[in-house]
Structure 1
Amino acid sequence: MISIGNEANDGTGPALELLATTCSSGTCPTVFRSDRGTILIQGYAVDAQQSGVTLAPGELLVEIPAELLTAAHLAAG
């Protein structure tokens, strides 16, 4: 697993650990574990309204490959 510190932001964001990805460039669907005990997902934005989903303010609908979640689960141990 690769640690991705919060040096790239203003220091207030979470430090991330890469659990699983679909590529090596960092610009594709990825699952991270944070030092806050949360999971962060990088994926493709989906129009919630077109999908029939109602989101709360600040929420996003994100699409990722199903096998990515399996890989993240195995990596998280």
Structure 2
Amino acid sequence: MALHLLCKDPESPNNGSPTLYYDDVSDSYLLQSWKVLDPARLAAISVPDHETVVEFPKRLLHLFPTGDDAPHGRAIPEDGKAS
């Protein structure tokens, strides 16, 4: 597995979290962030036992990759041939 650091919250006082990573093996994103523990908020959504909910500040959204800037847009296909 190769994780690529994409962005960290520049205003975080504690180790740069929330942090966004890209996993080039699973072609998915991982978001390290704050656990949502408030029962009232969690009751408003359906969360299976094998999942969790994390929260991150709105200010982080502009740092997320989009469109052609996203790693998956630049990834080499499984057949190894660039299109």
Q: In which range does the TM-score fall when normalised by the shorter chain?
A: 0.5 to 0.7
TM-superposed CA distance for 1:42, in Å, is 0.4
Long gaps (5+) in structure 2: 70-83
CA distance in 2, matches of 1:26, 1:16: 18
Q: Which residue of 1 aligns with 2:79?
A: none
Q: Which residue of 2 aligns with 1:38?
A: 28
Where has structure 1 moved over 3 Å in runs of 4 or more? 23-27
Q: What TM-score, normalized by structure 2, do the two folds share?
A: 0.61
Q: What TM-score, normalized by structure 1, do the two folds share?
A: 0.65
**CA RMSD, 1 decimal:** 2.4
TM-superposed CA distance for 1:47, in Å, is 2.1
TM-superposed CA distance for 1:15, in Å, is 1.9
Identity of aligned residues (%): 27
Say if 2:18 is the partner of 1:29. Answer: yes
